[in-house]
Amino acid sequence: MKIPTAVLAVFCTLLAVNASNPHDNLALSSRHAKLANRAPALERKNVTKRCPKRTTKNNSNNGIVKASSTPSSAPQETPTSIKEKTASTAAPAPAPAATTKAASSVNNAASGTINVKSSCGSIGASKKTSHTAGPNGSIEWLNCGIDSGGWNPPYIRIENVVAQSLSGAINSGSSPFTACKNFVGTFEKYGNQYGIPPIMLASFAMQESSCNPNTVGGGGEQGLMQITKEKCADAPGGNCKDPDFNIRTGAKFFADTLNGNNGDLLLSLGQYNGWYRGLTYAKATAARFTSCCRCQNNLDYLHQFLNGWLQNINAYDSSLRLGKYFNLDTC
């Protein structure tokens, strides 16, 4: 049978079009759908929900620090580095300049107690720090959800907390921050630069290294604020313990973390020490049954930080032992 020339030409044209388009539209749409549903890692991390709702559990310990070198009288901590989690994402921009106001706005302890809206029950704040409460709330409130469905910290910002000023604390005559007196200027310099109250930076140093610049943690964490090794690439002369570099690096990391969490202070403080949203008592203490007992999360950490150090109180002083869990005592 002889095929007309016009029909043959149309048939050949159709074959050529199909050959040049091997991917069907359905497959292409599928690929785009997968990409569209993959939110950036930083964006997923930044989504914050207030207690009592829960977010997807993250089983990695997010801490930048380890406190394995704290004094024997202090609960020694060994949180793991968050670098593995953050290395694959672009670093957040430093905290916005507007937050610099927070460096001075929270330094007046005369304001009494924290006053914020709470979806985690009673704040339980008291003007005087006790074993389980203080100006920035009770340990139950700060640890909202730890003993039940998982940690869902109430949302507060830096400017909401009650804190002493660092210079006022050191000049008070009886201050645990005496150990930090040689670094006050540096804490103030980078605190003002990144919008973090200087006493908060000094509190990290007290909690993690007792303000000893030569401290090296069990995992190689360095200096005053116990920064992890991978943050030390630009250290002057390779000395990651250099106080100026160490404090600047720790301050920027915390400011970036805070900015990435939309100003959520409790979440950011917890992440600095290895906590994560959804953390439960069982998960926080699971390491007690391993060869790394001190890899547990210190469940008294937030109370010690906010109602201890920020109030010019030694959180490790046995005469007023701050906390109720003391889970590191088992080690």
Q: How does DSSP assign 253-273, residue by residue? A: HHHHHHHHTTT-HHHHHHHHT
Q: 3-class DSSP state for residue 216?
A: strand
The domain ranges of the chain are 66-330
pLDDT at 2: 52
How much is the pTM? 0.70
Model pLDDT for residues 58-92, shown as the tens digit of each residue: 333 334 444 333 343 444 444 333 333 333 333 33
Mean pLDDT of the chain: 76
Evaluate if residue 36 carries a pLDDT over 60.
no
Evaluate if residue 4 carries a pLDDT over 60.
no
Question: What's the token pair of residue 223?
Answer: 């200096």
Model pLDDT for residues 143-202, shown as the tens digit of each residue: 999 999 999 999 999 999 999 999 999 998 889 999 999 999 999 999 999 999 999 999
For residue 256, which of 83, 24, 56 has the smallest C-alpha distance?
Answer: 83
Q: What is the mean pLDDT of residues 293-317?
A: 94
Q: How does DSSP assign 81-104, residue by residue? A: PSHHHHTTSPPPPPPPGGGGGHHH
